[in-house]
Amino acid sequence: MTNNIIIINGPNLNLLGEREQSQYGSITFEQLKQKSLLKAKELKVNLEFFQSNIEGEIVTTIQEAKKKFDGIIINAAGFTHTSVAIRDALDIYKKPIIELHISNIYKREEFRQKSLISDIATGGIFGLGDNGYILAIIAMQKLLQNGNR
Active site residues: 24, 101
The answer to whether 90 and 97 are in contact (CB under 8 A) is yes
Residue from 105, 84, 78 nearest 9 by CA? 78
**CB–CB of 4/70 below 8 Å?**
yes
Enumerate the β-bridge partners of residue 71: 5
Among residues 94, 56, 49, which one has the least CA distance to residue 75? 49
Contact between residue 72 and residue 98 where contact means Cβ atoms under 8 Å apart: yes
User: Is 133 within 8 Å of 74 (Cβ atoms)?
Assistant: no
